[in-house]
Structures are given as C-alpha cells and as structure tokens.
C-alpha cells in the first residue's frame, strides 16, 4: 500500500513505474501551458465561461464531512483563493492540482493552498514512485515532502494514459476548436473593420492601352490606404480618375459559412469541458428538452464526478491529521437534483413491501 508516497511495510511488492511519461520534459510545461491558457482561456469567451461554470459549481456544492474541522479547512479561503474553485479549474485546464498543507506552530494542519501546477515537478525514487514535489518560483526552489502519513502536498490529477505522474487536462483537447473559434472571430472583426462588406478591386481599363506607371501605382495605393481603409472611413465616397472603376468581390459559399464554423467550434469547446452547449447560450442545441434538464446533466455528468474526485483525494491526504476524514457532496442539498430526489422519495414511499428501516437506508437517512 502507498498513500501519496508513504512507504508501507509491503513496499517490495509494488511495481516499478515509468518515469519517462509522455516524453514531454517538465520544463516545457510552463511555456506550452501558459500559451494555451492565454489563447484558450483568457482569449476565448466560450472556454472561459465553461471552465468557470464547472469550477464555480464545484465550489458552491453543499458538502458534508466527518468533522467540522475538516469541512472548515476545505471551505476556508487561504491567500484569497477559494480552494475548491481553484482546484477544479486547474484540473480542467492543466490536469493536475497540488494542494499544499500549511501547518501551524504545533505542526497541525492550519490551511490548504492550491499551488500553480505548471510550477510543480514530481521527484521520484528508483522505482518511479513519487517521493517529493519541487515548487519553483523564479530562482527559488522549494522541496515539499510526499512521504509519511502527513505529506506536505496532496496531488490531485486527472487520468492520463501515457504518464504515471502527471494528469491530462481538457485544454489540450479543446485547443483545435479554440484556434478555429478565435480565427473566426478575427475574420469577423476584419470584415467589420472594412465596412462589413467584402473587399474589392480597382480595375484600370485605359482606352489607349497604356499601363499605370510605378509612381502612379504607389500614389494610388497610398491614397486608398489613407482615405478608405478602416472602419472610420466606412461609407466614404470614392473619387476615381479616368480609366479606374471599382469592382466588388463577392463572398464564396465557404466564406459565408464562417458563422456556422464558429458555432461548431464553440460547441466542440463546450464538449471538451463537459458543459451542455445550451448553458453557454449556443444556438441550435436540441439535445436537452429545456434548460433545467441541461443543468441537471451538467451536475450529473461533470460537476459531481469532478467534485467526488477532488474531495476523495483531499480526504485521503488529510487522513493523517484527522483520523477517518471523509468529504463528500451532500446530494440531498443540491438544488439541481431536487427532481431526482422527489422521484426517489415517491418511489420508496410507494414500496409497501419495504420496512421503514429499509426506506430510510435507501434515501440516505440513518436509523
């Protein structure tokens, strides 16, 4: 058995883990991850709203714990951050969340703080098992112990089929759709900057067959850029000299479909983060009958599984400080699941062949 690097008596029976991972050096993570965050989160409204919707829902979920101290520790703000919201967002974007356990003067757990995941590297032993975590900020390196029943860091990670130590986030899977969505937005803005109409061409058709000289061509080009380019010159009348005429260029069917292309990319982004498109205001979604059903699907398929993974790992990491620590979402207090509870209570109440004790157990109420 091994708990966050804690070596048990039967350590010799553990298999060796691969330390090669996916072949991506950890030093490359900050550059690639930060670039993806700038383009895919900070620069894309769909991805940002999807991540915030899931992370804020995880943070707002009603919780139940084995002890009031455990619940207060998880729900408290440390360094101004909401722990569960930060951890949920990091798991969606990066695939890893590292929660440092801050201790008081007596060595007891005093606060929990989520570290920046791209700054953390895993230190492993000869068998490839984590023994410590290194947190780098500039030139400063801090070693955080992963050994013993009270580790300094609780590592929460999503599934990664090609790496034993680092999880895989959703941002990479959404990067292609994000690039298409951002490019479509830039194309739309460029069209608006040009008076919301396609570009055209000045056609020179002299009667005597003489072509424009280089000087005439450069002068005409400069006058066009100065007097007619940009949104500020939209609709401005054009004065053409002899032999010049304006010919507008029409959009092809492929160009006209850029709206549909952008909507398709937006739906793919929502899919990558597990958010029903209806909740992001995307048109054309007929998967769910109404908004309430889509919200229930969000909780059942995305929020609750993510929250359960976070809370179970935190409870396991806090077991050394709080014996038998448990953390879970209180399903009976989640507003989005009220209809499910009503159906359960109605079906249990109608089961006359069940005893009162069996009915209490089925609805989660102890004897």
pLDDT at position 290 is: 83
Do 103 and 212 share a domain, yes or no? no
pLDDT of residue 22: 40
- pTM for this predicted structure: 0.76
Residue located via tokens 């990558």: 272
Residues 84 and 187 in one domain: yes
- Residue-level pLDDT at 201: 62
Determine the pLDDT at residue 62: 94
Residues 328 and 237 in one domain: no
Q: Is residue 183 part of a domain?
A: yes
Position 20 scores a pLDDT of 41
306 and 234 within one domain: no
Query: Which secondary structure element, helix H or strand E, spans residue 51, and what is its range?
Result: helix 45-60
Identify whether residues 66 and 83 lie together within a single domain: yes
Is 163 part of any domain?
yes
pLDDT number for residue 367: 54
> For every one of its 367 residues, what pLDDT tens digit does the chain have, with 9 covering 90 and above?
344 334 433 344 445 544 444 433 333 333 478 888 988 899 999 999 999 999 999 999 999 998 999 999 999 887 788 999 999 999 999 999 999 999 888 888 899 999 999 999 999 888 888 889 999 998 899 999 887 788 899 999 999 998 889 999 998 889 889 988 888 888 777 767 765 555 566 565 666 556 666 777 677 677 666 655 554 544 455 545 556 666 665 555 555 566 778 888 999 999 999 999 888 888 766 666 788 888 899 999 999 999 999 999 999 999 988 988 999 999 888 888 888 777 777 887 788 887 878 777 777 776 5
pLDDT of the residue at 202? 58
Our count of domains for the chain comes to: 3
pLDDT at 197: 54
Which pLDDT does position 134 carry in this prediction?
93
- Of 40, 56, 50, 43, the closest CA to residue 279 belongs to 50
Pair of tokens at residue 79: 């360094």
* Residue 131 Cα distances to 117, 121, 122, 151, 163, angstroms: 17, 11, 8, 10, 16
Distance (Å, whole) CA 335 – CA 38: 34
Residue 151 lies in a domain: yes
Rounded to whole angstroms, how far apart are CA atoms 14 and 68? 36
Report if residue 254 sits inside a domain: no
Q: Are both 41 and 170 inside the same structural domain?
A: yes
What is the residue range of 236's domain? 202-249
Q: Does 266 lie in the same domain as 348?
A: no
Contact criterion met (CB below 8 Å) for 89 and 51: yes
- Indicate the burial class of 252 (C-beta count within 10 angstroms; 0-12, 13-18, 19 or more): exposed
Are 300 and 269 part of one and the same domain?
A: yes
Distance CA 185, CA 189 (A): 6
Residue 275's CB: how many other CB atoms inside 10 A?
26
Say yes or no: 93 and 2 in one domain: yes
How many helices (H) and strands (E) are present in the chain, helices listed first? 12, 14
pLDDT in tens, 131-152: 899 999 988 999 998 877 888 9
């Amino acid at each position: 058995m091994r708990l966050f690097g804690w070596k048990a008596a039967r350590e010799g029976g553990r298999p060796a883990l691969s330390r090669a991972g996916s072949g991506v050096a950890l030093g490359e993570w900050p550059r690639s991850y930060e670039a993806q965050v700038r383009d895919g989160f900070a620069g894309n409204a769909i991805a940002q709203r999807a991540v915030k919707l899931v992370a804020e829902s995880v943070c707002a979920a009603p919780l139940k714990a084995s002890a009031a101290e455990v619940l207060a520790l998880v729900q408290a703000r440390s360094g101004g951050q909401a722990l569960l919201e930060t951890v949920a967002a990091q798991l969606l974007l990066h695939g890893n969340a590292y929660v440092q356990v801050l201790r008081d003067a007596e060595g007891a757990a005093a606060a929990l703080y989520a570290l920046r995941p791209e700054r953390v590297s895993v230190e492993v032993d000869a068998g490839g098992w984590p023994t410590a975590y290194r947190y780098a900020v500039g030139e400063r390196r801090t070693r955080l112990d992963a050994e013993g029943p009270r580790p300094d860091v609780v590592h929460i990670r999503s599934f990664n089929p090609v790496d034993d130590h680092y999880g895989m986030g959703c941002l990479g899977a959404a990067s292609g759709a994000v690039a298409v969505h951002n490019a479509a937005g830039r194309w739309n803005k460029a069209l608006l900057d040009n008076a919301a109409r396609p570009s055209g061409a000045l056609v020179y058709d002299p009667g005597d067959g003489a072509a424009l000289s280089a000087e005439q061509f450069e002068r005409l080009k400069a006058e066009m850029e100065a007097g007619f380019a940009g949104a500020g010159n939209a609709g401005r009348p054009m004065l053409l000299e002899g032999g010049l005429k304006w010919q507008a260029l029409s959009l092809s069917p492929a160009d006209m479909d850029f709206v549909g292309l952008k909507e398709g990319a937006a739906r793919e982004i929502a899919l990558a983060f597990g958010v029903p498109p209806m909740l992001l205001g995307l048109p054309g979604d007929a998967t769910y009958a109404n908004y309430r059903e889509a919200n229930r699907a969000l909780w059942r398929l995305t929020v609750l599984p993510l929250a359960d993974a976070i809370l179970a790992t935190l409870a396991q990491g806090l077991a050394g400080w709080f014996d038998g620590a448990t953390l879970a979402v209180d399903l009976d207090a989640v507003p989005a699941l009220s209809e499910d509870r009503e159906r359960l209570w109605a079906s249990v109440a109608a089961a006359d062949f069940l005893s009162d004790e069996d009915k209490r157990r089925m609805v989660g109420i102890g004897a």
